[in-house]
Amino acid sequence: MTVFIDGDKDTFLEDNSIKSGYGLANSNLFGNSNEELIVADGNGKIRIMGLAGSSLTTYQEWNTGYPMNTGAGITVANNNDDPWLVHGSDSGVVMAWEITSQTEHNEVWSTESNSNQNSVYSIEGGGAYGVAVGDIDDDGILKCLLEAPQVECMHMMELRTILNG
């Protein structure tokens, strides 16, 4: 992965440890003045990275348990107390992770039928590649838009804050 600093093609940093970064997002996750990079890779790992001086630092890295290949899709939802990373997967499972600090995260939501106690819609076995999140109708509830190439359509589901009921 190559990061160009301040848009200058001659000033850049490289991280060769990422072999297959298929999802990329950026957001100010930790409340400082800098935005972090969020990278999802083909092996199912998520990395949160940022610039620290003149180097690229990995703050967190974990395995989601689901491979995320071509166009995995990852996005950030900032309307909870702490930011959520929402991503799709090759198997069709969609997950949300709450970022509670620079070093901690928690799985807060999933469409995987064995891990949730809610009757949420899942496209398990399908594929959830393009992922976008937003309160598109101003009712305070996040909507998650998913592209599922196998069924050639977009899906929309509501993400509710599980921790607050």
In the chain, domain spans: 18-164
CATH class of 18-164: mainly beta
Instruction: Please name every residue paired with 14 in a beta bridge, in sequence order, or none if there are none.
Output: 2
Q: Write the DSSP symbol of residue 68.
A: -
Alpha helix locations (H) across the chain? Answer: none
Fill in the amino acid letter for 127: G
Q: Model pTM?
A: 0.73
Of residues 122 and 162, the one with the higher pLDDT is: 122
What span, in angstroms and rounded, lies between the C-alpha atoms of 73 and 94?
Answer: 10
pLDDT digits over 98-154, tens only? Answer: 999 999 999 988 777 666 555 444 454 555 556 666 666 777 766 666 655 544 444
The predicted-structure confidence for 58-114, as pLDDT tens digits, reads as follows: 999 999 988 877 656 788 888 788 998 988 777 777 788 999 999 999 998 877 766
